[in-house]
């Protein structure tokens, strides 16, 4: 443990490098075992597309540097406590920390992994926390018909959570055909985008149309695309609720508020993990929500195979500068990308 700590830094549009870095401050010394790339957000950081207006709000909890570059960024870390209070010594914990081999943090910034939760699956805690916030904002209720547009990691976790609410009928949609198998493993339905965009007069079986008619109670958009946002709005029935869960960065997508938007009295809601929804803020804080996210991951160990794949698929930390363009691409294979540390 005498080697300098090394961390990933985004240094220019499309460029990153690993640099020696300070350990930070806190009574706990940690050794990273796994971190997760948050593909959507880190793609925007990597490309230098964080709007100036959001430079302060988009700071990760233990980020160093300022947007656009250079920044040490990331927030999906699982590490072993090497030094710290006896109750944490040797424990595997989750922390909102950038990609770094070793670091120091206060004990209050660490959340121990529940018994039986693998470090690889635990690395998805921040994404599960986001998905849980989306479900709260969407107010999904038993029996609801729910469409989730975009089968990235957050979209998949949202669909999985919604599908566990009794009586819900959940349809996950994505242009990548292989994600139909992912939806099946999550226990929800699947539809390619072209099926969702069919007009009522289209020539296809009535029973198929019943699956995708515009009468969903809730639509959750997680594709960060204008087409996906339009599809999500078009799926809603009268008084339906759309939750926008993706972040467009410096883009300004067109939102179809003409046509029947007002006649159908649709509701458009933003969801952002930085705030607890108002209806829960009196009882919940970020620590309680993080603990809930980890418990939810621990309930289904099969999520590891479904969303992450085998350990050999994890990207070695030292390979990140060369591999980031492919790992953060919209068509990157798999659902989640983990980083492995020696």
DSSP 176-204: -TTHHHHHHHHT-EEE-HHHHT--TTSSS
CATH second-level architecture of 5-118+301-340? Alpha-Beta Complex (3.90)
| CA torsion through residues 278, 280, 285, 290, sign | negative
Q: Parse the chain into domains and list their residue ranges.
A: 5-118+301-340, 128-270
Domain 128-270 in CATH 3.50.50.60? The answer is no
Residue 326 predicted with pLDDT over 50: yes
pLDDT tens across 271-315, in order? 999 999 999 999 999 999 999 999 999 999 999 999 999 999 999
Domains 5-118+301-340 and 128-270 belong to one CATH topology: no
CA distance 221 to 243: 6
Which of 84-98, 99-113, 226-240 shows the lowest per-residue confidence on average (mean pLDDT)?
Answer: 226-240
CA distance 79 to 95: 8
Alpha helices in 26-124 (DSSP H): 39-46, 119-122
Residue 5 predicted with pLDDT over 80: yes
Compute the average pLDDT of residues 329-337. Answer: 93
Residue 73 predicted with pLDDT over 70: yes
Q: How many CB atoms lie within 10 A of CB 132?
A: 20
């Amino acid at each position: 443990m005498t080697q300098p700590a090394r961390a990933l830094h985004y240094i220019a549009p499309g460029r990153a490098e690993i640099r020696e870095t300070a350990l930070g401050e806190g009574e706990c010394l940690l050794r990273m075992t796994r971190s997760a790339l948050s593909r959507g957000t880190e793609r925007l950081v990597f490309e230098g597309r964080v709007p100036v207006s959001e430079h302060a709000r988009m700071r990760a909890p233990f980020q160093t540097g300022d947007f656009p570059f250079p920044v040490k960024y990331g927030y999906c870390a699982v590490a072993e406590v090497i030094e710290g209070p006896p109750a944490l010594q040797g424990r595997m914990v989750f922390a909102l920390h950038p990609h770094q081999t070793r670091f120091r943090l206060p004990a209050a910034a660490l959340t121990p992994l529940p018994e039986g939760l693998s470090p690889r699956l635990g690395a998805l805690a921040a994404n599960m926390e986001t998905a849980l916030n989306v479900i709260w904002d969407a107010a999904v209720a038993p029996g609801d018909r729910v469409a989730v547009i975009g089968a990235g990691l957050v979209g998949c976790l949202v669909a999985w959570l919604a599908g566990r609410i009794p009586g819900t009928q959940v349809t996950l949609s994505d242009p990548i055909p292989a994600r139909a198998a992912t939806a099946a493993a999550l226990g929800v339905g699947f539809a390619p985008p072209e099926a969702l965009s069919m007009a009522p007069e289209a020539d296809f079986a009535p029973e198929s149309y019943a699956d995708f008619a515009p009468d969903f109670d809730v639509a959750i958009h997680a594709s960060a695309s204008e087409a996906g946002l339009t599809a999500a709005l078009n799926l809603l029935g009268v008084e339906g609720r759309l939750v926008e869960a993706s972040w467009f960065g410096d883009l300004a997508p067109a939102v179809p508020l003409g046509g029947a938007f007002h006649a159908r009295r649709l509701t458009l809601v933003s969801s952002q993990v930085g705030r607890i929804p108002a209806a829960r803020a009196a009882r919940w804080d970020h620590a309680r929500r993080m603990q809930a996210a980890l418990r939810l991951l621990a309930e289904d160990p099969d999520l590891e195979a479904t969303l992450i794949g085998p350990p050999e698929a994890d990207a070695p930390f030292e390979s990140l500068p060369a591999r980031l363009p492919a790992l953060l691409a919209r068509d990157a294979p798999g659902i989640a990308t983990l980083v492995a540390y020696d």
